[in-house]
Amino acid sequence: MSLTYLESVVVGAFQGFSELFPISSLGHSVLIPALVGGRWARDLSVSAPESPYLAFIVGLHVATAAALLVFFWRDWVAIIGGFFTSIRRRSLADPYQRLAWLIIIATIPVGLAGLALEHLFRTTLGKPVPAAAFLVVNGLVLLAGERLRRRAPVAVLAGQAEAVAAGGLTMGDVAAERRAAREAGQDVHSGPVADGRLAGLSVRSALAVGSAQILALLPGISRSGSAMVAGLFRGLSHEDAARFSFLLATPVILAAGVLKIPDLFGPLGAGIHGQVLVGSIASFVTAYLSVRYLTRYFRTRTLTPFAIYSIALGAGALVWLAVH
């Protein structure tokens, strides 16, 4: 395989933002080369059994995970600390202790499914036409999530989310909690207050959100989008559903990268180390900017624009591929 620096920068930049925007990074990684055609279509294929392009994509995923770690570094320090204190004290009294275990439990299904199904799905479905079709499906799933999402307000403090969903708290209660947090000088959109809301999820809800990420093994289905839709179904706000999807994505993406990174130092990575580095830098920058933007965007806005984009791109790609 011959991978140019232009190809690496373009694909890296698309990977960084499409992994976090609910529009499917794998779908874009498959479709962009096919739509450009020529050398790009020859060089950049993820469906080959031993694909150097796949090794390159893995390097980009590690960069994306690194961007998430940098953005949420304070949260991860507290979450990791909560994990170890929960073991030492055999307690889940602290919100970060509970959140650590919710993330672990929610990550198990997609981890097992990835090990069992990733190769099969990539080699059989990692082609332009299936990717375009699944991108349309992705848009429909996002629209369905908006239309059918549970309307329950989300709690502010740990342990309250299920009470809200069950009707134990009112909109007024939640608004009062938010006002109290603001008056105390706390940021209700990030840090302990936001993480405390997520820690109030039940194990069943966390499993549902984590399991939804399995759909992202299909090229064209977004990991963050499927997780967000599941979060909306479980009563999370857009803001908290996005936050939880980003926290869940970090260990999943990082683990997948660590498992595949050795490929970059074998025959599959021969001659493309420079391109991997340049692409990874582009991926890191766009991923960091994306998560910074999206954490603000979902405070007041919805998945609908991304649904429209996915349907339009997928349908347009199907037409283009049919006539070329």
The pLDDT assigned to 48 comes to 62
Residues near 86 by beta carbon (within 8 Å), at least 6 away in sequence: 92, 94, 97, 98, 100, 101
> How would residue 208 be classed by pLDDT, with cut points 50, 70 and 90?
very high
- Cα separation of 155 and 237, whole Å? 9
The pLDDT assigned to 151 comes to 54
14-33 pLDDT, tens per residue?
A: 999 999 999 999 899 889 88
Least confident of 37-41, 73-77, 131-135, 221-225: 37-41
- Cα separation of 273 and 295, whole Å? 32
Q: pLDDT at residue 12 above 80?
A: yes
136-167 pLDDT, tens per residue?
A: 999 999 999 999 885 544 443 444 444 444 33
User: Which DSSP letter does residue 96 get?
Assistant: H
Q: What is the mean pLDDT of residues 82-106?
A: 94
Of 175, 165, 171, 173, the residue nearest 201 (C-alpha): 165
Strands (E), the chain: none
Most confident of the ranges 40-44, 58-62, 78-82, 159-163: 78-82
The pLDDT assigned to 99 comes to 96
The pLDDT assigned to 185 comes to 58
Of 199, 189, 201, 194, the residue nearest 231 (C-alpha): 201
The 3-class secondary structure across 108-132, one letter per residue, is HHHHHHHHHHHHHHHHHHCCHHHHH
What's the pTM value of the predicted model, to 2 decimals? 0.87
> How would residue 250 be classed by pLDDT, with cut points 50, 70 and 90?
very high
The pLDDT assigned to 207 comes to 96
The pLDDT assigned to 255 comes to 85
As given in the structure block, the two tokens for residue 5 are 């620096």
